[in-house]
Amino acid sequence: MNLTDLQALERQSVVGTYARLPLQIVRGSGSWVWDEDGNQYLDLLCGISVTNLGHCHPDVVDAIRDQARTLIHASNLFYTEPGIRLAERLSKSSLGGRVIFGNSGAEAVEAAIKCARRAKPGGEIVSLENGFHGRTYGALSATHQESKQAPFAPLVGGFKPAAATAEGIAAAVGPNTAAVLIEVIQGEGGVHPVQAAALEAARAACDQHGSALIFDEIQTGMGRTGTLWAYQQTGVVPDAITVAKALGGGLPIGALITGERLQDALVAGDHGSTFAAGPLVAQAALAALAATDDEHLLGRVEMLGERIRTRLSEMPGVTGVRGRGLMIGFDLEHGDAPGLAISALTEQRLIVNATGPSTVRLLPPLTIDDDEVSEGLTRIASAIANHNAR
Ligand SMILES: Cc1ncc(COP(=O)(O)O)c(C=O)c1O
């Protein structure tokens, strides 16, 4: 079906909650996707940090194919090995505690909120201004953005915003704080790294008041910033991390990985999900995790991120280049990032994302090669030059 017909069908049959870019994607391989006419696009967004290993990574495809022939679903009424092995692998790669699975990032955040409240009944959840934690009611209540929250009031009670500074966090946390929830780098909010002093203040305040420090690594995790988990570069160890997005290699999964403080918070009957960590998605995740947790790959993420940021900083019309590893944001001097994303797509066949009126976000595949990086930078420079000339 061509794009125009598909758009008409969508208007008839799908509730219009997405402002989609004008591209129908029918196929993907590595750093590239194709439309229905066979045109090829360089993907520097990875489905918002999901296809971190590139599209249709062979290890993930093999894992899905083999498991699909064996057992797709059994339910959590029974034991299946892949999900339990995945939990072991996630725990060993990070905080050492037990894991709670769900099917999305928002569900991982819900599990985090429930754990924290169970550990300190009635306690408040503190999260940062400009953060994003998902769109289910608990996660939305922790997402202190007026435009996202206001239409759905009243929200869940007991959520409190804090400024993303050491002072702001220290002032918001007290004896009744159950948890502090922080993105190490605020992704949807415009790729803003939270300063080390603020993370350290959050750790100190949580220790003082017996609260749980939870990092939302849904976007920063799975190698995106050059280590498997972003907290590993901060010197601060949280009590739990939420992960999702790239964990399933493209299939839906979310997880809360706990450390000692929270691992026993929930007990039988407290939480559950029909699909969580079923054998198919768990095998895909095991394959994705094995391919991502690789010294050579992660070393390149760091190096390529530096190269891209340096080149962007030299481009006319670009300011405020920031981020870590291959999680990169920059601002356009002349604004209109949404317009740039559309013209980059239609004129340069390049996929980038606008996360604000002036902010462009890049989340390239961690497997991108040197030539593709050069090609991407050339296309970005042309898109910005054309944009500035208008
Ligand atoms: C930091 C962060 N937390 C939570 C979420 C919600 O994840 P999901 O869309 O899978 O529910 C996102 C999604 O963009 C995110 O970036």
Q: How confident is the model at residue 186 (pLDDT cuts 50, 70, 90)?
A: very high
Question: Which of 127, 132, 137, 182, when mutated, tests ligand 1's pocket best, judged by the most ligand atoms within 8 Å of its CB?
Answer: 132
With a 6 Å cutoff on the Cβ, whether 219 touches ligand 1 is yes
Pairing status of strand 159-162 against strand 124-128? parallel
Cα(56)–Cα(33) distance, integer angstroms: 10
Q: Looking at this protein, which amino acid is placed at residue 20?
A: R
With a 6 Å cutoff on the Cβ, whether 124 touches ligand 1 is no
Q: What is the pLDDT at residue 179?
A: 98
Q: What is the pLDDT at residue 390?
A: 81
Sign of CA dihedral 163, 169, 171, 172: positive
Sign of CA dihedral 103, 104, 109, 112: positive
The answer regarding whether domain 3-56+295-389 maps to CATH 3.90.1150.10 reads yes
Q: Same topology for domains 3-56+295-389 and 71-292, yes or no?
A: no
Domain spans of the chain, in order of start:
3-56+295-389, 71-292
Closest residue by Cα to residue 287 from 40, 3, 47, 52: 52
Instruction: For residue 328, give the H/E element and its range.
Output: strand 327-332
Q: What is the pLDDT at residue 249?
A: 98
- Cα end-to-end span (Å), the chain: 33
Cα(52)–Cα(33) distance, integer angstroms: 14
With a 6 Å cutoff on the Cβ, whether 217 touches ligand 1 is no
pLDDT digits (tens, 9 = 90+) for 220-279: 999 999 999 999 999 999 999 999 999 999 999 999 999 999 999 999 999 999 999 999
Could you count the other beta carbons within 10 Å of the beta carbon of residue 121? 7
Q: What is the pLDDT at residue 13?
A: 98
Q: What is the pLDDT at residue 331?
A: 98
- 176 pLDDT more than 90: yes
Q: What is the pLDDT at residue 388?
A: 86
Q: What is the pLDDT at residue 351?
A: 98
pLDDT digits (tens, 9 = 90+) for 279-301: 999 999 999 999 999 999 999 99
Instruction: For residue 331, give the H/E element and its range.
Output: strand 327-332
Which atom of ligand 1 sits closest to the CA of residue 48? 14
Q: What is the pLDDT at residue 182?
A: 98
Question: Which of 137, 144, 218, 222, when mutated, tests ligand 1's pocket best, judged by the most ligand atoms within 8 Å of its CB?
Answer: 218
Sole residue written with tokens 């994303």:
341
The predicted model gives 110-137 an average pLDDT of 98
The answer regarding whether domain 71-292 maps to CATH 3.30.70.260 reads no
What is the side-by-side order of every strand in the sheet holding 353-354?
A: 318-324, 327-332, 359-362, 353-354
pLDDT digits (tens, 9 = 90+) for 17-70: 999 999 999 999 999 999 999 999 999 999 999 999 999 999 999 999 999 999
With a 6 Å cutoff on the Cβ, whether 324 touches ligand 1 is no
With a 6 Å cutoff on the Cβ, whether 192 touches ligand 1 is no
- The pair of three-digit structure tokens given for residue 335, joined into one six-digit string: 């604004």
Count the alpha carbons within 13 Å of 366 in the hemisphere toward its beta carbon: 33
- The pair of three-digit structure tokens given for residue 374, joined into one six-digit string: 């050069």
Give 315 Cα–ligand 1 centroid separation in angstroms. Answer: 30
Name 312's Cβ contacts closer than 8 Å, sequence gap at least 6. 318, 321, 328, 330, 377, 380
Give 371 Cα–ligand 1 centroid separation in angstroms. Answer: 30
Cα(369)–Cα(356) distance, integer angstroms: 28
pLDDT digits (tens, 9 = 90+) for 112-124: 999 999 999 999 9
The predicted model gives 291-320 an average pLDDT of 97
Mean pLDDT of the chain: 97
Helix or strand or coil: residue 55?
Answer: strand
Cα(60)–Cα(343) distance, integer angstroms: 32
Name 300's Cβ contacts closer than 8 Å, sequence gap at least 6. 366
Residue nearest to atom 4 of ligand 1 (CA): 133
Give 242 Cα–ligand 1 centroid separation in angstroms. Answer: 10
Q: What share of the chain has pLDDT > 90, as a percent? A: 99
Instruction: For residue 21, give the H/E element and its range.
Output: none
- 379 pLDDT more than 90: yes
Q: What share of the chain has pLDDT > 70, as a percent? A: 100
Helix or strand or coil: residue 337?
Answer: helix
Q: What is the pLDDT at residue 389?
A: 85
